[in-house]
Amino acid sequence: MNTLIEVRDLAKTFTLHQQHGVSLQVLRGLNFTVAAGECLVLHGQSGAGKSTLLRTLYGNYLPAGGSIRIRHAGDWLELVGAEPRQVLAVRRQTLGYVSQFLRVIPRVPALEVVMEPALARGWTRVDAEARAKALLTRLNIPERLWQLAPGTFSGGEQQRVNLARGFMVGWPVMLLDEPTASLDEANAGVVLELIGEARAAGSALIGIFHDRAIREAVADRYLDMTQEDLAHAS
Amino acid sequence: MNAQAIPAREAGYNFAYLDEQTKRMIRRALLKAVAIPGYQVPFGGREMPLPYGWGTGGMQLTAAILGADDVLKVIDQGADDTTNAVSIRRFFARTAGVATTERTPEATVIQTRHRIPETPLAAGQIMVYQVPIPEPLRFIEPSETETRTMHALGDYGVMHVKLYEDIATFGHIATSYAYPVTVDGRYVMDPSPIPKFDNPKLDRSPALMLFGAGREKRLYAVPPYTRVVSLDFEDHPFQIQQWEQCCAICGSGDSYLDELIVDDAGSKQFVCSDTDYCAQRAQQQESRP
Amino acid sequence: MSAAEQLLPATSVGTEPLFAVRDLTRLYGPDKGCQGVSFELYPGEVLGIVGESGSGKSTLLSLLCGRCPPDRGSVQYRDGSGDWLDLYAASEAERRTLLRTEWGFVEQNPRDGLRMGVSAGANIGERLMAQGVRHYGQLRAAGLDWLQQVEIDPARIDDLPRAFSGGMQQRLQIARNLVSSPKLVFMDEPTGGLDVSVQARLLDLLRGLVRELDLAVVIVTHDLAVARLLADRLMVMRRSRVVESGLTDQILDDPQHPYTQLLVSSVLQP
């Protein structure tokens, strides 16, 4: 089995100093692995820590303890305690993150937003542009929007730009946070195709899907997060 | 004109006006200046019986180096017979009792304001230049501490900034006098407000060049046979002034010419700025059959 | 020069650091100045130093770029030939040369970083002239090229900086610094004092240039939005100490230290 990401005893606590030091332990004692071509679906109620887990894996949130090991550049890299530049290198080459919320950098046209991950990997502009256009077309973003900055797009349009960006290049490990939320059936179908292509290419996927049908279509395994939902520690 | 009869020194003045200790101080500074070509050496400038701006720096240097056997020539814009040249020459005749001359080859010390004689100088001659502002970087950097640091570190990029600006504004380097030079490949120096026409005469001259600024109290020197290179760009090389006309008196085509308005109608005449050179040439032509 | 066509490979985790700071300290009074600062900077990394007034970030910047000697600690730089230079053990001449060639410094007020009395072209060409470029044609070509890169109309190459707006002066300052292809650039609140729309344009330019030229940057700012946009990593300063440091988006999205949480929650969202 070709394990690409390995999580051991992962814990995440939020301490809110502004609110009298209230402490929220959202994740505790998490253990799992995901192999190439596998899709692990996170399962649990709202507030169970699913998004938190994805963000912690991505390095956006700081783990309180435990280990996240990822297969990067032919070797295992421990992400907990890694240097910022190592995390950035992993995010550039190995670990992709697709969320429903596009962080809009003002004034950058949609096409550029989508091309960026490829350019960061050294693709030529010509190749990057071709693939970006293909993806945007597949996701039904009309051509007249390609040169506009996504800041003025609708929520659904922003999400689809984000998806195009997310699937622009191949990622050994992909984190998907509600990628089909607020998409119609046709577009959701496109996303399913893209996920299928990624799996076939050997990516390990970890995802959150609110739609049960989609969940069942993609999941190989489930990780039940409800047991992680703990009462507040004071 | 030959060396004049040596006048008697006026009583009540030390030889060449300055006291001996002052002259020693200036000579020490001059030795340092000669040892570091182009480097501005501060010296304890004394009050002279002229205001600043009238050549006090040059005069102090001349006073410090003058000996009883020296023959002094003083020129102002090339001429021996202007008021300033005459005054200074008479000053040294009275206070030092030295012989004076208007003939360049006969002089051992030549004090000059803003020109180098056309007649090539010989080994053993000393030129003393009157300098208003000794600091070539002053136009762009007002701070003294900063310019000293720039000289110390050889930080001369800004000199070319000025030349670049000239070319961008006028299409050519517009500086026509006090044209900055690099001395011995190290220090950038202001050669005093001589026309750029005279800059080549500084390069590897057999004579010793001394520069004195009285108001700023700085002196500097270029020893004989030192490389002096005018700053320029590869694609805008240094060029000297040229005239279409020749001197109206002696017919010279390669000396620096002054433009004179000779009547109320505005008629112009071009004559050599170096009066001695012109007079000698004219005399030679007359004496030819 | 297109950004993508000239793209350099991603920063490898194995390269050597470019800049190393150990226990850097300079105090003007109790908790005034900076103390105990240590970090390493790698080629192509952008480090943001954020903090409020009085946090010591400006002191730290002066210490880092060689303008002010520390009470304690060291600043080391790995130069073009791979040798380590201890900044304060080196001579003034070496420091000044460094600041003119391999380093850049973008001042908060462009008037401090430009020669206001000479043209834009002369301002850009000065570093090249200081390094011995003696060809007017080449200098002018470099000036035109860089004006274009910082999005100033090249026809304005002979204009004095006085004739430029604040944003243009700042962009001219950036061009003046980048012409010598520095590897490390220090920026002191580069967008401070500019109108918001002007700021935005400048930030876009900086983002593009940093990526394109693979610059290592140390940027001091009080504006967290600027930090998020430009910096890979952040150091948060308060009362002369670094209270938190790490990946930019982690610090801003999941601040750990009470002061950082205060800072982040205080930012107004329009």
Q: What is the mean pLDDT of residues A54-83?
A: 94
Q: Which of C9, C12, C247 sits opposite A87 (nearest CB)?
A: C247
Residue C15 has a pLDDT of 80
**List of chains touching A (3+ CB pairs within 8 A):** C
**CB C96 to CB B236 under 8 A?**
no
* Token output for A224: 């039940």
Percent of chain C whose predicted confidence (pLDDT) is above 70: 94
d(CA A231, CA A215): 28
**CB C126 to CB B169 under 8 A?**
no
Of the pLDDT bands very low, low, confident and very high (cuts 50, 70, 90), residue C206 is confident
Percent of chain C whose predicted confidence (pLDDT) is above 90: 69
Residue C156 has a pLDDT of 96
- Buried b vs exposed e over A126-154: b needs ≥16 C-beta within 10 Å? eebbebbbebbebbebeeebbeebbeebe
Q: What is the mean pLDDT of residues B57-72?
A: 96
Residue with tokens 């003058």: B66
Q: How many CB pairs lie under 8 A apart between chains B and C?
A: 58
Contact A170, A3 (CB under 8 A): no
**CB C96 to CB B153 under 8 A?**
yes
Residue B238 has a pLDDT of 95
Task: State the smallest CA–CA distance between residue A185 and chain C in angstroms.
Answer: 32
CA distances from C270 to A168, C134, C225 (A): 31, 51, 12
- Between the two ends of chain B, the Cα-to-Cα distance in Å is 22
Task: State the smallest CA–CA distance between residue A66 and chain C in angstroms.
Answer: 17
* Token output for B96: 């030092």
Radius of gyration of chain C (CA): 18
Alpha helices in A45-101 (DSSP H): 50-58, 84-93
Q: Which residue of C has its CA nearest to A108?
A: C204
Beta strand B71-76 pairing with A95-99: unpaired
d(CA A139, CA A167): 11
B261: pLDDT strictly greater than 70: yes
C3: pLDDT strictly greater than 50: no
**CB B153 to CB C93 under 8 A?**
yes
Q: What is the identity of the amino acid at C151? A: E
Residue to test with chain A: of C47, C236, C252, C254, most A Cβ within 10 A: C254
In Å, the largest CA–CA distance within chain B is: 63
CA angle (A212 as vertex; A208, A218 as ends), nearest 5: 60
Contact A188, A22 (CB under 8 A): no
Between B270 and C10, where is the model more confident? B270
Q: Which of B58, B78, B212, B247 is catalytic?
A: B247
B and A in touch (3+ CB pairs within 8 angstroms): no
Active site residue B246: no
Interval A219-229: pLDDT, tens: 999 988 875 44
Residue A228 has a pLDDT of 46
List, as ranges, residues 157-196 from C with C-beta within 8 Å of B.
157-158
What one-character DSSP code corresponds to residue A228?
G
Of the pLDDT bands very low, low, confident and very high (cuts 50, 70, 90), residue B253 is very high
In Å, the largest CA–CA distance within chain C is: 57
Contact A53, A30 (CB under 8 A): yes
Interval B42-62: pLDDT, tens: 999 999 999 999 999 999 999
Residue C100 has a pLDDT of 86
d(CA C220, CA C222): 7
Find chain A residues with C-beta within 8 A of C10's C-beta: 89, 92-93, 120-122
Residue A45 has a pLDDT of 83
Q: What is the mean pLDDT of residues C177-187?
A: 93
Interval C111-158: pLDDT, tens: 999 999 899 999 999 999 988 899 999 999 999 999 999 999 999 999
Q: What is the identity of the amino acid at B201? A: K
Contact C236, C259 (CB under 8 A): yes
Alpha helices in chain B (DSSP H): 20-35, 56-65, 83-96, 144-153, 157-170, 199-202, 275-287
d(CA A100, CA A48): 18
Residue A227 has a pLDDT of 58
Phi, psi of A125 (to 5 degrees): -60, -35
Q: Which of B57, B78, B214, B278 is catalytic?
A: B278
**List of chains touching B (3+ CB pairs within 8 A):** C
Q: What is the mean pLDDT of residues C88-113?
A: 91
Strand order in the sheet with C233-238: C103-106, C184-188, C216-221, C46-51, C233-238, C241-247
Contact B183, B231 (CB under 8 A): no
**CB B157 to CB C118 under 8 A?**
no
C9: pLDDT strictly greater than 80: no
Residue with tokens 């000396």: B255
A50: pLDDT strictly greater than 70: yes
**CB A107 to CB C200 under 8 A?**
yes
Of the pLDDT bands very low, low, confident and very high (cuts 50, 70, 90), residue B105 is very high
Q: What is the mean pLDDT of residues C58-70?
A: 93
d(CA C171, CA C169): 5
* Token output for B15: 């030889």
Find chain B residues with C-beta within 8 A of C136's C-beta: 164, 167, 233-236
The model's pTM: 0.84
A6: pLDDT strictly greater than 60: yes
Contact C61, C36 (CB under 8 A): no
ipTM of the complex: 0.87
Beta strand B126-130 pairing with B208-213: parallel
Find chain C residues with C-beta within 8 A of A92's C-beta: 10
Contact C47, C242 (CB under 8 A): no
Active site residue B278: yes
Residue with tokens 């020893």: B223
Of the pLDDT bands very low, low, confident and very high (cuts 50, 70, 90), residue B65 is very high
Candidates A113, A125, A61, A52; CA nearest to A87 is A61
Q: Which of C122, C134, C135 sits opposite B165 (nearest CB)?
A: C122
Q: Which residue of A has its CA nearest to C41?
A: A85
d(CA B286, CA A139): 102
C5: pLDDT strictly greater than 80: no
Residue B158 has a pLDDT of 87
Residue A16 has a pLDDT of 92
3-state secondary structure of C241: strand
Residue A151 has a pLDDT of 84
What one-character DSSP code corresponds to residue A124?
-
d(CA A125, CA C83): 36
Q: Indicate if the alpha-carbon torsion angle C88, C91, C96, C97 is positive or negative.
A: negative
Counts of helices then strands in chain A (DSSP H, E): 7, 9
d(CA B78, CA B261): 18
d(CA C123, CA C111): 12
Residue B6 has a pLDDT of 66
Residue with tokens 């989508």: A114
Q: What is the mean pLDDT of residues B56-79?
A: 96
Q: Which of B155, B162, B167 sits opposite C136 (nearest CB)?
A: B167
d(CA B246, CA B260): 13
**CB C122 to CB B169 under 8 A?**
no
Task: State the smallest CA–CA distance between residue C195 and chain A in angstroms.
Answer: 16
d(CA B229, CA A56): 67
Q: Which residue of B has its CA nearest to C117?
A: B140
List, as ranges, residues 75-94 from C with C-beta within 8 Å of B.
92-93
Q: Which residues pair with B270 in a beta bridge?
A: B259
Interval A118-167: pLDDT, tens: 988 889 999 999 999 999 999 999 999 999 988 888 888 888 999 999 99
Residue to test with chain C: of B139, B160, B169, most C Cβ within 10 A: B160
Contact A202, A37 (CB under 8 A): yes
Q: How many CB pairs lie under 8 A apart between chains A and C?
A: 74
Q: Which residue of C has its CA nearest to A118?
A: C4
Interval C16-49: pLDDT, tens: 899 999 999 999 999 999 999 999 999 989 999 9
Find chain C residues with C-beta within 8 A of B138's C-beta: none
Average pLDDT of chain B is: 93
| 3-state DSSP percent of chain C in helix, strand and coil, to 5 | 40, 25, 35
Measured from the Cβ of residue B284, the count of other Cβ atoms closer than 10 Å reads 10
Q: What is the identity of the amino acid at A17? A: H
Of the pLDDT bands very low, low, confident and very high (cuts 50, 70, 90), residue B75 is very high
Of the pLDDT bands very low, low, confident and very high (cuts 50, 70, 90), residue B72 is very high
